[in-house]
Amino acid sequence: MYAVIQTGGKQYRVSPGDYLEVERLEGQEGDLVEFQSVLLASDGQEVRVGRPFLEGTKVIGRILKQGKGKKIVVFKYKRRKNYRRKKGHRQLLSFVRIEKIEA
């Protein structure tokens, strides 16, 4: 059984027991979180596709940890103009384990 969910402007293929790094979700460590934006669900025999979302289907996960991602460096440069700008960014992330898919 698997599903395709949408969160944080991205889509993820998930199955029960999977671990995900998604953009920061509201809640504390150990809280359950519901993903209502299910685009596709399959139980092994049939595949159901939503337009755009499936009604009555949700994916339940548990927040394992709230943290930050790897640092990326944004560097702007124009040659011969003495223009340089260096900036860093670390995305806030939630680490989630998928508990079950309810259809």
Query: What are 38-77's pLDDT values in tens digits?
Result: 999 999 899 999 999 999 999 999 999 999 999 999 999 9
Spatial distance between the Cα atoms of 38 and 21, rounded to a whole number of angstroms: 17
**In 10 A of CB 30, how many CB atoms?**
9
> pLDDT tens digits, residue range 14-29?
999 999 999 999 999 9
- Which residues are within 8 A (CB) of 90 and not within 5 positions of it... i.e. 6 or more apart? 68, 69, 70, 71, 72
Phi–psi pair at 62, nearest 5 degrees:
-120, 130
What pLDDT sits at residue 67?
A: 96
pLDDT above 90: residue 91: yes
Query: With contact defined as beta carbons under 8 Å apart, do 61 and 70 qualify?
Result: no
pTM: 0.85
